[in-house]
């Protein structure tokens, strides 16, 4: 039972002696996959099958196999899985049926691979424009609209046999610190949470969400212990279990995040976490730490620091989750035809989400003879073959409309003289930004060439629009992937209209 309180990450693309030894020694409830475990469709499917077969051979119950598959910037494997729009793009579509569609696509494809738990949806409200970690992973900043979309996502995802996880309780959207790097502190009281952040979580619970993931965020006006929510007995037992009535599995966010790992040793993690009400301790890597985690659970139970009844309670909840998963035990196959259909549906959703600000100033680009497109290199993290994919897509899409297309990638070390030669030898510039509030060099470049800019594309945070001076139309895409790019080009060429609405409040410059 001590091992069943642990969900662990691992290294490698195939079942090996290290993973087999870890499963024998730890006996975890499940495994979490990361990009390092996912090369392609067939490899992932075989690895999950091998893991489940080996677990069964050593007497373990079926493994809970999880990953973060939110869409948008959180997307673990590009090979064959349908590129999905971000949650905020879904919020911009203002159409809950789009949420149903994307959740079903995610669930069907994950189920076909062998996954049975998705760490999605994000139920956080992105109320802080300077939030460095949530942003477009949130559906928006309106608690009731977000609640509706969270509820629809959970119902549709779980109907495929893949269980949902609402995160990051009680909210990570009003922070300006990334809990991967430090401990965020949110100075609001319980009434604010009840009337804002907790509304989507209550909707998730009413929709039958299987798991809720905690945030490594401190709420000192809610819990005077000054412990992060992950370790807060008041927030997990009194608020989540008591006030909100959640009876499912409570899982921690990854324990290697600096908000936890830089402040608490292994014994503290176990002591505070299990006594607060965590059912699963999630650790994404470092087998030595995971072995210590299990040893600490055993030690603290034997010493009286942790009541063994807590382990029994957690085990019962985890078994209930397994039973729920097993009720959808029939495998699902996804054909090439299904995948093509899913990509077309994702394209439709992307088209419905692109938002055009100052649309009265917009002129379709097919009316120009020559265009330069400037794109920040930071976007290459979202496309595996960034330069070639972007060039091929833009040239292919724009080729029939525009005689000369120049695509240039810029970063903080850009040579301004070279760029000036480009931008003053074309009819105009399409200027891409990505989270410019955190990468100010993008705005420095914009200021130098803004008289040549025809339009701006904010490819990440919509709050970039607040930073753009002048009378420029601005297209918001809420993330970037090949399907979003293709939809964007259709909008820029005037082939399709942009129908998205703003999912967050903006203060635009005139």
Q: Residue 103's Cα: distance from chain center in Å?
A: 13
Instruction: Examine the residue annotation and report whether 172 is marked as an active-site residue of this protein.
Output: no
How far apart, in whole angstroms, are the C-alpha atoms of residue 146 and residue 143?
Answer: 5
φ, ψ at 81 (rounded to 5°): -60, 135
Task: Calculate helix-pair angle for 416-423, 441-449, nearest 10 degrees.
Answer: 40
Residues present in the chain in total:
510
How far apart, in whole angstroms, are the C-alpha atoms of residue 420 and residue 252?
Answer: 50
CB 481 within 8 A of CB 82: no
Instruction: Please give the structure tokens belonging to residue 366.
Output: 């097919």
Q: Are strands 64-67 and 117-118 parallel, antiparallel or unpaired?
A: parallel
The residue from 180, 238, 439, 499 that is catalytic is 180
**Surface-to-core class of residue 336, CB atoms within 10 Å of its CB (0-12 exposed, 13-18 middle, 19+ buried):** exposed
- The helix/strand/coil state of 139 is coil
The residue from 95, 124, 141, 253 that is catalytic is 253
- Helix ranges, 83-197 (H): 87-93, 96-113, 143-158, 190-195
168 cis-preceded (ω within 30 degrees of 0): yes
335, HSE (Cβ side, Cα atoms, 13 Å): 3
Residues 6+ positions from 312 with CB-CB distance below 8 Å: 1
Instruction: Examine the residue annotation and report whether 439 is marked as an active-site residue of this protein.
Output: no
**Surface-to-core class of residue 352, CB atoms within 10 Å of its CB (0-12 exposed, 13-18 middle, 19+ buried):** buried
Task: Calculate helix-pair angle for 266-276, 308-326, nearest 10 degrees.
Answer: 70
The set of catalytic residues is 180, 253
């Amino acid at each position: 039972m001590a091992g069943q309180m642990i969900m662990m990450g691992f290294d490698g693309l195939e079942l090996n002696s290290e993973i087999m030894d870890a499963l024998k020694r730890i006996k975890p409830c499940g495994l979490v996959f990361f990009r390092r475990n996912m090369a392609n469709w067939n490899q992932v499917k075989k690895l999950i099958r091998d893991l489940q077969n080996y677990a069964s051979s050593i007497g373990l119950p079926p493994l809970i196999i999880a990953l973060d598959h939110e869409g948008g910037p959180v997307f673990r494997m590009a090979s064959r899985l349908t590129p999905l729009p971000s949650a905020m793009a879904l919020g911009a579509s203002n159409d809950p049926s789009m949420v149903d569609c994307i959740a079903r696509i995610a669930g069907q494809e994950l189920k076909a691979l062998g996954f049975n738990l998705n760490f999605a949806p994000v139920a956080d409200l992105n109320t802080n424009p300077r939030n460095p970690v949530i942003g477009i992973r949130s559906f928006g900043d309106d608690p009731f609209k977000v609640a509706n979309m969270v509820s629809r996502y959970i119902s549709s995802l779980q109907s495929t046999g893949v269980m949902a996880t609402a995160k990051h309780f009680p909210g990570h959207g009003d922070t300006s610190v990334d809990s991967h790097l430090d401990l965020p502190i949110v100075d609001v009281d319980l009434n604010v949470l009840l009337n804002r952040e907790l509304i989507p979580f209550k909707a998730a619970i009413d929709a039958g969400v299987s798991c809720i993931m905690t945030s490594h965020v401190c709420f000192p006006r809610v819990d005077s212990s000054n412990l992060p929510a992950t370790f807060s007995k008041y927030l997990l037992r009194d608020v989540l279990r008591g006030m909100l009535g959640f009876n499912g599995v409570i899982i921690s966010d990854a324990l290697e995040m600096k908000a936890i790992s830089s402040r608490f040793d292994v014994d503290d993690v176990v002591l505070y976490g299990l006594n607060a009400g965590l059912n699963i301790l999630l650790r994404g890597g470092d087998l030595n730490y995971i072995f210590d985690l299990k040893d600490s659970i055993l030690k603290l139970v034997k010493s009286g620091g942790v009541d063994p009844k807590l382990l029994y309670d957690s085990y019962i909840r985890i078994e209930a989750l397994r039973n729920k998963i097993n009720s959808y035990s029939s495998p699902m196959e996804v054909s090439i035809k299904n995948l093509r259909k899913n990509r077309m549906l994702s394209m439709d959703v992307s088209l419905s989400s692109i938002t055009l600000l100052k649309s009265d100033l917009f002129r379709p680009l097919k009316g120009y003879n020559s265009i330069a497109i400037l794109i920040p290199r930071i976007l290459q993290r979202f496309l595996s073959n960034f330069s070639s994919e972007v060039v091929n897509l833009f040239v292919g899409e724009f080729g029939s409309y525009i005689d000369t297309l120049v695509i240039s990638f810029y970063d903080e070390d850009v040579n301004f003289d070279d760029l000036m030669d480009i931008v003053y030898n074309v009819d105009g510039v399409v200027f891409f930004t990505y989270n410019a509030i955190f990468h100010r060099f993008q705005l420095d470049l914009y200021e130098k060439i803004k008289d040549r800019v025809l339009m701006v594309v904010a490819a990440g945070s919509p709050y970039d629009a607040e930073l753009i001076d002048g009378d420029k139309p601005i297209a918001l895409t809420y993330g970037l992937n090949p399907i979003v790019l293709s939809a964007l080009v259709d909008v820029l060429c005037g082939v399709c209209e942009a129908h998205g609405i703003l999912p967050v409040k903006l203060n635009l410059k005139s």
